[in-house]
Amino acid sequence: DVVMAQSPLSLPVTLGQPASISCRSSQSLVYSDGNTYLSWSQQRPGQSPRRLIYKVSNRDSGVPDRFSGSGSGTDFTLKISRVEAEDVGVYYCMQGTHPYTFGQGTKLEIK
Amino acid sequence: EVQLVESGGGLVQPGGSLRLSCAASGFTFSSYWMHWVRQAPGKGLVWVSHINNDGSGTTYADSVKGRFTISRDNAKSTLYLQMNSLRDEDTAVYYCTRDWLGIDYWGQGTLVTVSS
């Protein structure tokens, strides 16, 4: 199975400052169809997860443009350009080839 | 609006069984793969099982293989998870999720507690 490793696991950030989360996979996520099924989801306290980014860098509908995804192969990054209070929660990367696997989660909090 | 509403969770003794249901609405259910994902209290997300759009193909995490069965009724727009031989470590919130280029929509989850 593909192992997904996120860092850092805890991320204190000052409001208005940028934040970055890394996700590394144990093998290349380029699928046989040429696509890379790497996504990022946000789980606010007490809520279900919500997908933010799919196929590495595509924002889902309604996701603020301060969120961006990048990367290729085995190294991926989620960036928040200016952290807002509503961004507090846990962020997960996920790879979408069977069996699907998630990163451990990165807890973002306001400093 | 996409909605996924789980039901069927509860308290069950080790070795017991439960059947989870997920009522889907707001999209053409028969066109999408579906998954179950679980989250133990205070822990991260763990993929459990998937089923393709017509129900002919399924996969399972090793931890539940042989004990859990995923199924769907496209006429009722409903996803199921039959859970047998439940163990303490199966205690978690179980989420019904839709797959479009990866998991995109999540239900609110249903809590399964396995305890004597």
- Mark yes or no for CB contact B106/A50 under 8 Å: yes
Q: Say yes or no to pLDDT of A103 above 90.
A: yes
To 5 degrees, how large is the angle CA A60–CA A65–CA A67?
A: 75
Average pLDDT for A36-42: 97
- Mark yes or no for CB contact B102/A48 under 8 Å: no
In the predicted model, what is the mean pLDDT of chain B? 97
Is the C-alpha dihedral spanning A16, A87, A56, B2 positive or negative? negative
Q: What number of helices (H) and strands (E) belong to chain B?
A: 0, 11
Nearest to B12 by CA among B82, B73, B66: B82
Distance between first and last Cα of chain A: 36
pLDDT tens-digit profile of A51-89?
A: 999 999 999 999 999 999 999 999 999 999 999 999 999
pLDDT of residue A98: 82
Nearest to A50 by CA among B102, B71, B94: B102
Residue with tokens 């007490």: A46
pLDDT tens-digit profile of B92-108?
A: 999 999 999 999 999 99
User: Distance between alpha carbon A44 and the CA centroid of its chain, in Å?
Assistant: 13
Is the C-alpha dihedral spanning A50, A56, A61, A66 positive or negative? positive
Q: CB atoms < 10 A from the CB of B95, how many?
A: 24
Name every residue in A having a CB less than 8 A away from some CB of B: 35, 37-39, 41, 43, 48-51, 54-55, 60, 90, 92, 94, 96, 98-105
Q: CB atoms < 10 A from the CB of A21, how many?
A: 23
Q: CB atoms < 10 A from the CB of B40, how many?
A: 13
Name every residue in B having a CB less than 8 A away from some CB of A: 35, 44-47, 50, 59, 61, 95, 99, 101-109
Confidence of residue B26 (pLDDT cuts 50, 70, 90): very high
The whole-angstrom separation of Cα B99 and Cα A95 is 12
Q: How far is A3 from chain B (nearest CA, A)?
A: 12
